[in-house]
C-alpha cells in the first residue's frame, strides 16, 4: 500500500481517485441500502426521530451519487486505459474489462432510475415510484460484483474483508426485513389484533351491558393469528 | 323563521317546509309524483351557470363538513378546464354514521330529487359520468328502489348523463370521500392521503365532485326556485333547511326537515337539567341539556359549546339509560372501525376505547382520565381522515358532560336502570380486507 501511495503522480492521480471514490461509493451505497431497509419497517436509530432516518437515507443516497459520479468520471478521464464515456451507462461498451465494467454500467443505470424517480416522486404514482425503487435491491449486488471483479484491490487484504463485511451486513438486513414482513398483521386485521390485546376491560363491558350489546369479534380473530 | 311545535316542522305558507321530503306521509315518490311536485329539470345548457346560483344561495355540504358547495363545484370545473379532462360526479348517499337516517330516508322517499341534483351538478361541471354511491340494504331494499328510479328516468329520457349505482361497504368510514373514491376505483374503502385533492385528481385520475345526497337535492331546488327562495329559511350566515335525524327518548328515530337556526328546544323538547344531548352523532359532542336548551341549530350558536351541526343528528337518551356506558360502547365501535392505516388512530383509538370502558365499568385507575385526555390530544389531527379527531371530540365531551356519572361509577354505582342499548351500534366489524371492499 505504502509503495502505491508514494507512486501517486499527475498521471496516476486520476486512477487512484477513481478507485478510492469507488470504495467510498460502495460503502455509502451499503449504508443507503441498510437505511432503506430500516425505513421500510419505520425503524429508528438511537437518538434520531423516524423522519430523520428517512432523511439520512435520502441524503446519504445523494452523497453516494456524487461519489459514483466522481468514480466514473475519473475512470473515464484517466488516459492509462481507454474507457469511453458511453461505457459508463451502456453495458459492455468498454474495450477494457468489458464484462466487469459492464456490471458497473448496469448498476449505475439502475441507480439513476431509482434516484430520478425519487426526485420526481411528487409527480409519480406511489406504485410506479415503489416499483422502480425496488430496483435498488438489484443495483447493490451488481455494484458489489463490479467492485470485486474489476478491482484487484478488493480481492485481498483489508479491502476484501470490507467488501465481504458489506455483503454480509446487507444479506443479514434483508433476512431481517423478510422475517419482519412475515410477522406483519394485514391492515384490515390490525385493529382487532390490538383490541384483543386490550381485551380485559372490553370483556367487562359485555358483562355489564345488555345481552343484545355488540359482541366482540376480537378474541376469535386473535386465535386465528 | 319557521316555528314548529314539539319537533314536528309546521307547514308554513311563506317558508314552506318540508322542501325535500314529500309533504304527505311516508310514500316513496315515483317519477310522476316527482314531476307533479317539482316540475321539469331546469337544465342550464352550459357549464358553470348553476355555480353562481349556489354561491348566492350559500348552500353548504349537508354531509357534515358544511363546505360551501359552489367552491367545490368551481374547483372541479377549474381542474377539468386546466387538465382538459371531463370530471366525474358522485352522489354520496353512504351515511355510515349508525345514528343517522336522513340520507336513507331522502333516497327512499324522494330519490328523483337527488338524481335531479346529480344531473344538474354534472352539467354545471361538464361531467360525462355520474355515480350514485350508497348503502343499498340499509332500509327497505333502497338499492332496488334506486335502480327503478334510474330506469324510470332512462325510459322518459330525463337524464343527460348516465347514472351508475354503486354499493358502499358497511363501514363507518366508507362515506368519507377519499375512501369512496378508493372503493369505486376497485380498492378498499379506506381514506387516502391528500394531496392530490379528489377535485383535482380523483376517480381514475379525473377531477371528481363528491356531494352528499341531500346537498344535491337542495341544488335541484335552488336550480328551480333560485337563491332568494333558498334563503327564505335559515339564518343569514347559514341559510336554508336541513334534514335532521332526531332520536328522542320516547321512541323511534324521526327524520325532519328543519330550518337552520331553529331552537334545539323545539326539536328535542324540554329536557330536565340532568339529561344530555348528543349533537352530531358519534363524531359529535355531548352537551348538557341545560346548555342545549339555550342553543339553536346552526354552527354559530353550537360553537359556544364546541359542537357542530354536522349531519344533523340529535340524540336524547332516556333518563333510565347510562349514557356513559353507551358512549363507551360507541367508542369501542369507532375504534374497531379504524381503517388501521395511520399509527395514531390504530394505536390510539383502541386504548381510548379501553380506558373509557374502564371508567364505565367502574374499574378506572388513578391515571385513567389523565391518559384519556392525553391520548385524545395525541390522536387529533394526525390521521389521513378525521376519524381520530371526531372520536376524540366525542370522548372529551363525554368526560366533561358525564363528570358526575363518572364519579358515581368510580364508587361502583350507575344511574342507569335499564340495560337495553339506546345508541344504535352495528354488530359487525371488519375482520378481513374483503370487509372493506
Which helix (H) or strand (E) segment holds residue B146: the answer is: helix B142-156
Check residue B61 and give its pLDDT: 96
Cα dihedral B142/B143/B145/B150 (nearest 10): 140
Q: Is A206's pLDDT higher than 50?
A: no
Whether B31-230 shares its CATH topology with B323-436 is answered: no
Contacts of A125 (CB under 8 A, 6+ apart): none
Q: How far apart, in whole angstroms, are the C-alpha atoms of residue B431 and residue B437?
A: 12
How would residue A1 be classed by pLDDT, with cut points 50, 70 and 90? very low
Q: Which three cell numbers stand for residue B246?
A: 332526531
Residues B52, B55, B57: CA angle, nearest 5 degrees? 110
Q: What is the pLDDT along chain B (437 residues), one digit of tens a residue?
A: 333 333 344 444 445 889 999 987 778 899 999 999 999 999 999 899 999 999 999 999 999 999 999 999 999 999 999 999 999 999 999 998 999 999 999 999 999 999 999 999 999 999 999 999 999 876 668 899 999 999 999 999 999 999 999 999 999 999 999 999 999 999 999 999 877 899 999 999 999 999 999 999 999 999 999 999 999 999 999 999 999 999 998 878 899 999 999 999 999 999 988 899 999 999 999 999 999 999 999 999 999 999 999 999 999 999 999 999 999 999 999 999 999 999 899 999 999 999 999 999 998 898 999 999 999 999 999 898 999 999 999 999 999 999 999 999 999 999 999 888 999 999 888 888 889 99
pLDDT classification of A219: cutoffs 50, 70, 90: very low
- Is B346's CB within 8 Å of A212's CB? no
Architecture of domain B31-230: 3-Layer(aba) Sandwich (3.40)
Residue A223 reports pLDDT greater than 60? no
Q: Is A46 exposed, middle or buried (0-12, 13-18, 19+ CB in 10 A)?
A: exposed
Partner A contacted by B429 (CB < 8 A): yes
pLDDT at A203: 55
How does strand B276-279 pair with strand B254-259?
unpaired
Enumerate the residues of chain A whose CB falls inside 8 A of the CB of residue B337.
191
- For the domain spanning A2-182, the CATH number is 1.20.120
The sign of the dihedral angle between the CA atoms of B346, B350, B356, B358 is negative
Within chain A, all domains assigned CATH 1.20.120 are found at: 2-182
pLDDT in tens, A137-179: 999 999 999 999 988 888 888 999 999 999 999 999 999 999 9
CB-based contacts of A45: which residues, under 8 Å, 6+ apart? A38, A52, A53, A56
Tell me which chain B residues have a C-beta less than 8 angstroms from the C-beta of A196: none
d(CA A134, CA A115): 12
Half-sphere exposure of A92 (CA within 13 A, CB side): 0
> What topology does CATH give the domain B323-436?
de novo design (two linked rop proteins) (1.20.1440)
B346 — contact with chain A (CB < 8 Å)? Answer: yes
Q: What pLDDT sits at residue A221?
A: 32
Which pTM value belongs to this model?
Answer: 0.79
Min Cα–Cα distance to chain A from B243, Å? 28
Place of cell 337563491: B227
Domain coordinates in residue numbering, chain B: 31-230, 241-315, 323-436
Determine whether the interchain pair A205/B340 forms a contact, defined as Cβ–Cβ distance below 8 Å: no
Determine contact, residues B184/B166, Cβ cutoff 8 Å.
Answer: yes
Q: Which residues of A touch B190 (CB under 8 A)?
A: 187
Identify the pLDDT of residue B6.
39
In this predicted structure, what is the pLDDT of residue A176? 95
Rg over alpha carbons for chain A, rounded to the nearest Å, is 25
* A-interface mutation test, from B329, B330, B360, B425, most A Cβ less than 10 A away: B329
The arithmetic mean of pLDDT across residues A66-86, rounded, is 90
Pick the CATH number of B241-315 from 3.40.50.10800, 3.10.20.600, 3.10.580.10, 3.30.980.10: 3.10.20.600
Distance, CA of B410 to CA of B402 (rounded, Å):
12
Query: What are the percentages of helix, strand and coil residues in chain A, rounded to 5?
Result: 75, 0, 25
For residue range A189-199, list pLDDT tens digits in order. 888 888 887 76
For chain A, give the mean pLDDT: 84
Q: Which residues, other chains included, contact B432 with Cβ-Cβ below 8 Å and sequence gap of 6+?
A: A186, A188, A189
Q: Chain A: residue nearest B422 by CA? A: A213
ipTM of the complex: 0.75
Amino acid at each position: 500500500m505504502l509503495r502505491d501511495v508514494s507512486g501517486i503522480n499527475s498521471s496516476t492521480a486520476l486512477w487512484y481517485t477513481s478507485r478510492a471514490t469507488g470504495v467510498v461509493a460502495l460503502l455509502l451505497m451499503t449504508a443507503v441500502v441498510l437505511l432503506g431497509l430500516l425505513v421500510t419497517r419505520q425503524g429508528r436509530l438511537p437518538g434520531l426521530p423516524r423522519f430523520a432516518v428517512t432523511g439520512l437515507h435520502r441524503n446519504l443516497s445523494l452523497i453516494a451519487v456524487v461519489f459514483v459520479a466522481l468514480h466514473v468520471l475519473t475512470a473515464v478521464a484517466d488516459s492509462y486505459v481507454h474507457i469511453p464515456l458511453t461505457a459508463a451507462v451502456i453495458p459492455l461498451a468498454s474495450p477494457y474489462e468489458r464484462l466487469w465494467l459492464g456490471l458497473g454500467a448496469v448498476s449505475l443505470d439502475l441507480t439513476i432510475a431509482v434516484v430520478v424517480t425519487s426526485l420526481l416522486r411528487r409527480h409519480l404514482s406511489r406504485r410506479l415510484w415503489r416499483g422502480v425503487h425496488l430496483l435498488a435491491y438489484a443495483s447493490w449486488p451488481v455494484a458489489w460484483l463490479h467492485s470485486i471483479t474489476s478491482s484487484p484491490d478488493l480481492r485481498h487484504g483489508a479491502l476484501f474483508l470490507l467488501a465481504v463485511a458489506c455483503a454480509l451486513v446487507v444479506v443479514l438486513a434483508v433476512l431481517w426485513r423478510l422475517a419482519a414482513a412475515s410477522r406483519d398483521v394485514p391492515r384490515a386485521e390490525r385493529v382487532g389484533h390490538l383490541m384483543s390485546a386490550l381485551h380485559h376491560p372490553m370483556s367487562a363491558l359485555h358483562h355489564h351491558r345488555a345481552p343484545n350489546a355488540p359482541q366482540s369479534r376480537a378474541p376469535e380473530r386473535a386465535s386465528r393469528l | 323563521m319557521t316555528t314548529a311545535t314539539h319537533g314536528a316542522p309546521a307547514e308554513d305558507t311563506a317558508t314552506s317546509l318540508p322542501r325535500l321530503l314529500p309533504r304527505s306521509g311516508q310514500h316513496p315518490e315515483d317519477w310522476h309524483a316527482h314531476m307533479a311536485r317539482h316540475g321539469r329539470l331546469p337544465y342550464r345548457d352550459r357549464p358553470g351557470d348553476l355555480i353562481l346560483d349556489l354561491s348566492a344561495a350559500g348552500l353548504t355540504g349537508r354531509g357534515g363538513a358544511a363546505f360551501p358547495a359552489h367552491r367545490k363545484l368551481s374547483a372541479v370545473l377549474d381542474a377539468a378546464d386546466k387538465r382538459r379532462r371531463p370530471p366525474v360526479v358522485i352522489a354520496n348517499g353512504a351515511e355510515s354514521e349508525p345514528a343517522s337516517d336522513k340520507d336513507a330516508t331522502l333516497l327512499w322517499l324522494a330519490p328523483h330529487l337527488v338524481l335531479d341534483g346529480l344531473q344538474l351538478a354534472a352539467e354545471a361541471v361538464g361531467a360525462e359520468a355520474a355515480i350514485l354511491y350508497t348503502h343499498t340494504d340499509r332500509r327497505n331494499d333502497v338499492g332496488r328502489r334506486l335502480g327503478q328510479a334510474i330506469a324510470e328516468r332512462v325510459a322518459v329520457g330525463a337524464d343527460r348523463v348516465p347514472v351508475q349505482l354503486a354499493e358502499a361497504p358497511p363501514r363507518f368510514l366508507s362515506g368519507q370521500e377519499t375512501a369512496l373514491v378508493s372503493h369505486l376505483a376497485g380498492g378498499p374503502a379506506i381514506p387516502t392521503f391528500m394531496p392530490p385533492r379528489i377535485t383535482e385528481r380523483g376517480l381514475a385520475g379525473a377531477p371528481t365532485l363528491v356531494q352528499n345526497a341531500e346537498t344535491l337535492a337542495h341544488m335541484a331546488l335552488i336550480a328551480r326556485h333560485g337563491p332568494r327562495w333558498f334563503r327564505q329559511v335559515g339564518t343569514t350566515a347559514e341559510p336554508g333547511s336541513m334534514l335532521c335525524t332526531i332520536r328522542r327518548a320516547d321512541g323511534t328515530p324521526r327524520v325532519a326537515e328543519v330550518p337552520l337556526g331553529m331552537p334545539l328546544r323545539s326539536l328535542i323538547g324540554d329536557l330536565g337539567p340532568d339529561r344530555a344531548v348528543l349533537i352530531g352523532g358519534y363524531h359529535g359532542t355531548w352537551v348538557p341539556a341545560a346548555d342545549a336548551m339555550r342553543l339553536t341549530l346552526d354552527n354559530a350558536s353550537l360553537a359556544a359549546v364546541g359542537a357542530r351541526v354536522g349531519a344533523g343528528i340529535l340524540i336524547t337518551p332516556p333518563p333510565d339509560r347510562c349514557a356513559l356506558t353507551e358512549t363507551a360502547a360507541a367508542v369501542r365501535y369507532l375504534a374497531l372501525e379504524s381503517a388501521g392505516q395511520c399509527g395514531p388512530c390504530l394505536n390510539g383509538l383502541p386504548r381510548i376505547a379501553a380506558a373509557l370502558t374502564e371508567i364505565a365499568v367502574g374499574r378506572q385507575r388513578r391515571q385513567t382520565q389523565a391518559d384519556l385526555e392525553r391520548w385524545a390530544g395525541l390522536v387529533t389531527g394526525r390521521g389521513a381522515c378525521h376519524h381520530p379527531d371526531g372520536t376524540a371530540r366525542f370522548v372529551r365531551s363525554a368526560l366533561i358532560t358525564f363528570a358526575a356519572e363518572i364519579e358515581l361509577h368510580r364508587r361502583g354505582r350507575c344511574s342507569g336502570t335499564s340495560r337495553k342499548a339506546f345508541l344504535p351500534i352495528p354488530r359487525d366489524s371488519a375482520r378481513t380486507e374483503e370487509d372493506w371492499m
